[in-house]
Chains A and B, each alone.
Chain A
Amino acid sequence: MSNFFSYIVQGTAITVAVTLIALPFGLILGLLMALVHTYGGKILNRLAAAYSLLLRGVPPIVLLFILYFILSGRVINLSPFWAGSLSLGIVSSAYQMEILRGALLAVGGGQMTAARAIGMSRLQSIRYVVLPQALRIAIPPWSNEVSIVLKDSSLVYALGVPEILRRAQQLSATTQEPFLAYGTAALIYFVLVFATNRALDYLSERTKLPTHS
């Protein structure tokens, strides 16, 4: 019985690893796209908008299969683990882009104007004035996206990556204890999501700007 649990728990490391690759990859890509959409010219703006629309208009699992066959095809040949993680990151980048775009808009054009007025370049204004404020604003909606990526990491089971769900499925088949197997998987996911949300709430509280009172 202890084997049973340790087998699933070992999958947790893989789930966490997939998430830890997909999230930052999606964040960097999403941030780039959000900046291009907000500050790029007309053409770049359109391209970024199309990128977001396309990725958000198709179910993640479908995209995962498509991207998987690109990323572990003839030209590039990544392992299912890497192909799956990066694909998840690409899917998430579209959602993270929208979160960051909203945050950039919420900061407002005035901050950019004020930064330019003291002689900062556009890039400096974004880096030192707009982004530090936008990222603060983005933390609460971003923490929601973190939960989604964490849970969507279960999709890579379809590519044969031995993460939590994959292992739960195997155990369910061999032990004929589906409730116990999937229940354990569910519990692990819940604990992970709960803990990260709490951590990000704390971060949001810590980075809050002081006001009156």
Chain B
Amino acid sequence: MPNPILETRNLTKIYGQNIIFKDIDLKVNEGETIVIIGPSGTGKSTLLRCINLLTSNDGGQIFLDGKEITAKGYDEDKPRQRIVNEDKVRQQIGMVFQNFLLFNHLTALDNVLIGLTKVKKMSKEQAKTKAMEELNRVGLVDRADHYPGQLSGGQQQRVAIARALAMDPRVMLFDEPTSALDPELIGEVLGVMAKLARDRMTMLVVTHEMGFAREVADRIVFMEKGSIVEEGSPDDLFYHPKHERTREFLWKITELYGKKEKGKADGK
């Protein structure tokens, strides 16, 4: 077994009296696509934010490439320097948000470029070449000069993916990337993500898109009420779930998904 790129041990998050999630053990190996599913409010999004250090954990540890990124305190040799530089860690973990969060005052190109020039300190020319490559990867070279306000939701999300990819992250986190999209725009975003998975990008995806989970995921993790109920290959979870709750959830969401499809067809 290779060492996992990303690993959480007993990861716990508590808001006041509420336990958001508790003792989450998760291993993500290089090139793997892991899909996290589960009902709303079970801490899936908070888990991703926690892994990206956007919110602090209240217990447990997170390791990136075998190094603990949740380590607290200061280096003995350099007492003024935190053991973990959060900004450096985030550079290595790409994040895609439900509501895109593109920088509204910048064109698509500049959205992708700004991290390269300001964070990676690349020259403008180098950064532009790299940014155009990333836009090409999501099929939006012809929209490089458009502002977010001039792009459709699907296009905005693809730019957001390019923005994260440009930093050459070790892992990409997707937080319900298609939940805010019109049904007809979901496909283009899932298509880009499926392509990334084929290129062996390491991905951790929170989504309700069961079709995507079944076809693209190497492993599916079912979370409920702050814990991992079950994890396994798509075949295992969809056709031979061990837990009653997994079966129930999958049945419900597939039914919902089916109804949505039917509703769309009726509308025509």
On A, residues with C-beta under 8 Å from B are 110-111, 113-121, 124, 128-129, 132-133, 136, 209-212
B150 contacts A119, CB within 8 Å? no
Task: Select one of B87, B88, B97, B147 contacting A114, CB under 8 A.
Answer: B97
B101–A128 touching, CB < 8 Å: no
**Which B residues between 146 and 162 are near A, CB-CB below 8 angstroms?**
147, 149-150, 160
B150/A120 in contact, CB under 8 A: no
Main SS at interface, chain A: helix
Q: A118-B163, A118-B164 are in contact. List 7 more A-B contacts (CB 8 A).
A: A113-B54, A114-B103, A116-B87, A118-B114, A119-B91, A120-B87, A120-B119
Q: CB distance B90 to A117 under 8 Å?
A: yes
| Cβ-neighbour of A209 out of B94, B104, B114 (below 8 A) | B104
Asked if residues A116 and B101 are in contact (CB atoms below 8 Å), the reply is no
What are the residues of chain B within 8 A of A116 when measuring CB–CB? 54, 87, 90
Task: Say yes or no for B59: interface residue by CB 8 A criterion.
Answer: no
A118–B167 CB distance below 8 A: yes
Q: Is B11 interfacial (CB-CB < 8 Å)?
A: no
Inter-chain contact A110/B163, CB cutoff 8 Å: no
B105 CB-CB contact with A under 8 Å: yes
Please report which residues of chain B, range 108-156, place their CB below 8 angstroms from some CB of chain A when the two chains form the complex: 114-115, 118-119, 147, 149-150
| Interface residue from A119, A124, A210 paired with B149 (Cβ < 8 Å) | A210
In this complex, the member of A118, A120, A128 whose beta carbon has the largest number of chain B beta carbons within 10 angstroms is A118
- When A119-B90, A124-B118 are in contact, do A110 and B99 touch as well, CB less than 8 Å? yes
Question: Could you tell me if B119 and A124 are in contact, using CB atoms closer than 8 angstroms?
Answer: yes
Nearest CB on B from A45, distance (A): 20
* Contacts across chains A and B counted by CB atoms under 8 Å: 70
Contact among B97, B105, B114 with A136 in the assembled complex (CB-CB below 8 Å)? B105
Q: How far is the CB of B117 from chain A (nearest CB, A)?
A: 9
- Cα A110 to Cα B99 in complex, Å, equals 9
Contacts of B164 in A (CB 8 A): 117-118
Give B60-76 interface residues, CB cut-off 8 Å to A.
none
B52 on interface, CB distance cutoff 8 Å = yes
Contact in complex: B97, A119 (CB < 8 Å): no
Q: Is B95 an interface residue (CB 8 A)?
A: yes
21 A-B pairs in the complex with CB atoms less than 8 angstroms apart = A110-B97, A111-B103, A111-B104, A113-B97, A113-B101, A114-B160, A117-B164, A118-B115, A118-B119, A118-B163, A118-B164, A118-B167, A119-B115, A119-B167, A120-B87, A128-B118, A129-B105, A129-B114, A209-B147, A211-B150, A212-B150
A132 and B105 within 8 A (CB):
yes
The CA of A209 and the CA of B106, in the complex, are separated in Å by 9
Nearest A-chain residue to B96, judged by Cβ = A117
Q: Report how far A118 CA is from B96 CA in the complex, Å.
A: 10
Residues of B within 8 A of A212 (CB): 149-150
| The 4 nearest A-B residue pairs measured at CB | A119-B91, A211-B149, A114-B101, A118-B115
Of the residues B88, B103, B160, contact of A115 by C-beta under 8 Å? B103
CB <8 Å contact, A211 and B115? no
